Amino acid sequence: MDKIYLNDMQFYGYHGVLPEETVLGQLFRVTVEMAVDLRQAGETDDLAATVNYAEVYALCKEIVEGRPYQLIESVAEKIAAAILDGYAEQVKGCKVLIVKPTPPIAGHYASVAVEITRGEV
């Protein structure tokens, strides 16, 4: 299966369990991998034969910058469901990676992240 990637999209959201996370907010990085048959798009050079990257970006932005969730697991689930529901004809599966670069956890680390896979990737 062919793949479309939207890598390291950056959004500002208010997700988290701790009160300061929902008040101050923080940066979230999102990567989406979609399993799509790209043969027709490649042969015809027709946007209608593929998934519009700008639309998927806007969908991710709306979810991450929208209502707050306690868990980034929920954010990833909402993104995957929206992609699979909105592009059911084209997208056979997707993988969503949510990175929280600066969670309020004592210690030294690069980031925390969750990755989910839904459908066939």
Q: Which residues are catalytic?
A: 100
Closest CA to 72 of 24, 11, 120, 121: 11
Cβ atoms of 12 and 27 closer than 8 Å: yes
CA separation for the pair 31, 9 (Å, rounded)? 6
CA separation for the pair 59, 30 (Å, rounded)? 12
Beta bridge partners of residue 42, listed in sequence order: none
